[in-house]
Amino acid sequence: MFHEYKEALISQLSSISCRVSLTTDIWTNIKSQSYLVVTCHWIDETWKMQKRILSLDVLDSSHSGYTIALYVLNVAKVFGIQNKIMSITLDNASANNSALKYLKDSLKPILDGELLHVRCACHVINLCVKCAFDFVWVPICHIVSHQFLAKPLWIYSGQYHCNIIHISILDN
Protein backbone atom coordinates (compact mmCIF):
# COMPACT_ATOMS: atom_id res chain seq x y z
CA MET A 1 0.00 0.00 0.00
CA PHE A 2 2.81 2.44 0.89
CA HIS A 3 4.58 1.83 -2.43
CA GLU A 4 1.38 2.42 -4.42
CA TYR A 5 0.75 5.67 -2.55
CA LYS A 6 4.35 6.78 -3.12
CA GLU A 7 4.20 5.98 -6.84
CA ALA A 8 0.89 7.86 -7.17
CA LEU A 9 2.43 10.87 -5.39
CA ILE A 10 5.49 10.78 -7.65
CA SER A 11 3.16 10.73 -10.65
CA GLN A 12 1.07 13.59 -9.26
CA LEU A 13 4.12 15.75 -8.53
CA SER A 14 5.62 15.09 -11.96
CA SER A 15 2.41 16.30 -13.63
CA ILE A 16 2.10 19.64 -11.82
CA SER A 17 3.37 22.70 -13.65
CA CYS A 18 3.76 24.98 -10.63
CA ARG A 19 6.61 25.46 -8.22
CA VAL A 20 6.61 23.70 -4.85
CA SER A 21 7.78 24.71 -1.40
CA LEU A 22 9.40 22.33 1.05
CA THR A 23 9.56 22.35 4.82
CA THR A 24 12.04 20.29 6.73
CA ASP A 25 12.89 19.78 10.38
CA ILE A 26 14.83 17.46 12.65
CA TRP A 27 13.51 16.04 15.91
CA THR A 28 15.34 13.97 18.48
CA ASN A 29 13.38 11.54 20.66
CA ILE A 30 14.10 10.63 24.28
CA LYS A 31 16.33 7.77 23.09
CA SER A 32 18.50 10.29 21.18
CA GLN A 33 17.35 9.06 17.77
CA SER A 34 17.05 11.86 15.23
CA TYR A 35 14.33 12.05 12.60
CA LEU A 36 14.30 14.28 9.55
CA VAL A 37 11.04 15.10 7.75
CA VAL A 38 10.49 16.70 4.34
CA THR A 39 7.04 18.04 3.49
CA CYS A 40 6.00 19.38 0.09
CA HIS A 41 3.43 22.18 -0.41
CA TRP A 42 1.86 23.37 -3.67
CA ILE A 43 -1.30 24.88 -5.11
CA ASP A 44 -3.24 22.50 -7.36
CA GLU A 45 -5.15 23.30 -10.57
CA THR A 46 -8.28 24.19 -8.54
CA TRP A 47 -6.28 26.67 -6.43
CA LYS A 48 -6.36 24.50 -3.32
CA MET A 49 -3.30 24.25 -1.11
CA GLN A 50 -1.90 20.73 -1.09
CA LYS A 51 0.69 19.31 1.28
CA ARG A 52 2.23 15.87 1.56
CA ILE A 53 4.91 14.34 3.73
CA LEU A 54 7.51 13.08 1.30
CA SER A 55 9.87 11.51 3.78
CA LEU A 56 10.27 10.85 7.49
CA ASP A 57 13.41 8.88 8.25
CA VAL A 58 15.88 8.24 11.01
CA LEU A 59 18.90 10.46 10.56
CA ASP A 60 21.83 8.22 11.48
CA SER A 61 24.58 10.70 10.75
CA SER A 62 25.40 14.15 12.10
CA HIS A 63 23.06 17.12 11.83
CA SER A 64 25.55 18.93 9.58
CA GLY A 65 24.43 21.20 6.79
CA TYR A 66 25.96 18.87 4.23
CA THR A 67 24.02 15.86 5.60
CA ILE A 68 20.74 17.80 5.62
CA ALA A 69 21.33 19.09 2.08
CA LEU A 70 22.11 15.60 0.74
CA TYR A 71 18.98 14.21 2.38
CA VAL A 72 16.72 16.94 0.95
CA LEU A 73 18.32 16.61 -2.50
CA ASN A 74 17.81 12.85 -2.48
CA VAL A 75 14.13 13.23 -1.53
CA ALA A 76 13.65 15.88 -4.23
CA LYS A 77 15.22 13.61 -6.85
CA VAL A 78 13.17 10.57 -5.79
CA PHE A 79 9.96 12.60 -6.18
CA GLY A 80 11.14 14.38 -9.34
CA ILE A 81 10.79 17.90 -7.96
CA GLN A 82 14.43 19.07 -7.87
CA ASN A 83 13.69 21.57 -10.68
CA LYS A 84 10.39 22.76 -9.19
CA ILE A 85 11.49 23.97 -5.75
CA MET A 86 10.62 27.60 -5.06
CA SER A 87 11.49 27.76 -1.36
CA ILE A 88 12.49 25.67 1.65
CA THR A 89 11.33 26.56 5.15
CA LEU A 90 13.65 25.64 8.02
CA ASP A 91 14.31 26.84 11.53
CA ASN A 92 17.30 29.04 12.40
CA ALA A 93 19.78 26.28 13.27
CA SER A 94 23.25 27.07 11.91
CA ALA A 95 23.37 23.70 10.13
CA ASN A 96 20.30 24.75 8.14
CA ASN A 97 22.07 27.89 6.95
CA SER A 98 24.93 25.83 5.55
CA ALA A 99 22.46 23.26 4.13
CA LEU A 100 20.82 26.07 2.16
CA LYS A 101 24.19 27.10 0.71
CA TYR A 102 24.69 23.57 -0.63
CA LEU A 103 21.10 23.39 -1.88
CA LYS A 104 21.34 26.77 -3.58
CA ASP A 105 24.34 25.56 -5.58
CA SER A 106 22.75 22.20 -6.42
CA LEU A 107 19.17 23.22 -7.24
CA LYS A 108 19.78 26.32 -9.36
CA PRO A 109 16.65 28.04 -7.99
CA ILE A 110 14.85 30.99 -9.53
CA LEU A 111 16.05 34.55 -8.78
CA ASP A 112 19.47 33.15 -7.86
CA GLY A 113 17.97 31.63 -4.71
CA GLU A 114 16.80 34.91 -3.18
CA LEU A 115 13.51 33.23 -2.22
CA LEU A 116 14.92 29.80 -1.43
CA HIS A 117 15.50 30.12 2.32
CA VAL A 118 12.37 30.90 4.34
CA ARG A 119 12.83 31.00 8.08
CA CYS A 120 10.16 29.27 10.14
CA ALA A 121 7.90 31.97 11.61
CA CYS A 122 6.97 29.81 14.62
CA HIS A 123 10.64 29.31 15.46
CA VAL A 124 11.32 33.05 15.13
CA ILE A 125 8.37 33.87 17.44
CA ASN A 126 9.57 31.25 19.93
CA LEU A 127 13.04 32.86 19.98
CA CYS A 128 11.47 36.30 20.54
CA VAL A 129 9.35 35.04 23.45
CA LYS A 130 12.37 33.34 25.03
CA CYS A 131 14.32 36.56 24.72
CA ALA A 132 11.46 38.52 26.30
CA PHE A 133 11.27 36.06 29.19
CA ASP A 134 15.02 36.38 29.74
CA PHE A 135 14.49 40.13 30.01
CA VAL A 136 11.63 39.94 32.54
CA TRP A 137 12.71 36.84 34.49
CA VAL A 138 14.28 38.73 37.41
CA PRO A 139 11.22 40.98 38.00
CA ILE A 140 8.92 37.94 37.79
CA CYS A 141 11.04 36.06 40.34
CA HIS A 142 10.93 39.11 42.62
CA ILE A 143 7.13 39.26 42.42
CA VAL A 144 6.69 35.54 42.98
CA SER A 145 9.06 35.53 45.96
CA HIS A 146 6.81 38.00 47.84
CA GLN A 147 3.59 36.98 49.50
CA PHE A 148 0.60 37.67 47.35
CA LEU A 149 -3.13 37.54 47.70
CA ALA A 150 -5.26 36.37 44.79
CA LYS A 151 -8.81 37.71 44.52
CA PRO A 152 -11.15 36.67 41.73
CA LEU A 153 -12.29 39.56 39.57
CA TRP A 154 -15.19 39.08 37.14
CA ILE A 155 -15.17 41.02 33.91
CA TYR A 156 -18.06 41.13 31.45
CA SER A 157 -17.23 42.27 27.95
CA GLY A 158 -19.94 41.79 25.36
CA GLN A 159 -20.66 38.08 25.04
CA TYR A 160 -17.45 36.92 26.74
CA HIS A 161 -17.09 36.27 30.44
CA CYS A 162 -13.58 36.19 31.85
CA ASN A 163 -12.52 35.14 35.31
CA ILE A 164 -9.30 37.02 35.84
CA ILE A 165 -7.19 36.60 38.95
CA HIS A 166 -6.18 39.95 40.34
CA ILE A 167 -2.89 39.65 42.20
CA SER A 168 -1.95 42.26 44.74
CA ILE A 169 1.41 42.31 46.47
CA LEU A 170 1.41 42.46 50.27
CA ASP A 171 4.38 44.23 51.74
CA ASN A 172 5.50 42.92 55.12
Share of the chain above pLDDT 70, in %: 72
Q: Give mean pLDDT, residues 144-152.
A: 50
Residue type present at position 154: W
Residue 135 has pLDDT above 60, yes or no: yes
Q: Is residue 145 part of a domain?
A: no
Q: Is residue 141 part of a domain?
A: no
Least confidently predicted of 44-48, 78-82, 100-104, 127-131: 127-131
Share of the chain above pLDDT 90, in %: 33
Residue 158 backbone zone (phi > 0: left; psi -120 to 50: alpha; other: beta): left
DSSP alpha helices (H): ranges in 89-172?
Answer: 94-107, 121-145
CATH of the domain at 62: 3.30.420
Distance of alpha carbon 121 from alpha carbon 144, whole angstroms: 32
Residue 164 has pLDDT above 70, yes or no: no
Q: Is residue 130 part of a domain?
A: no
Kindly report, residue by residue over 34-63, the tens digit of the pLDDT: 999 999 999 998 999 999 999 999 988 878
Q: Which residue has the higher pLDDT, 137 or 7?
A: 7
For residue 105, the enclosing domain spans 2-123
Distance of alpha carbon 169 from alpha carbon 172, whole angstroms: 10
The number of residues making up the chain comes to 172
Q: Is residue 170 part of a domain?
A: no
Residue 168 has pLDDT above 60, yes or no: no
Among candidate residues 36, 35, 6, 14, the one with its CA nearest the CA of residue 24: 36
Q: Is residue 9 part of a domain?
A: yes
Q: Which residue has the higher pLDDT, 60 or 125?
A: 60
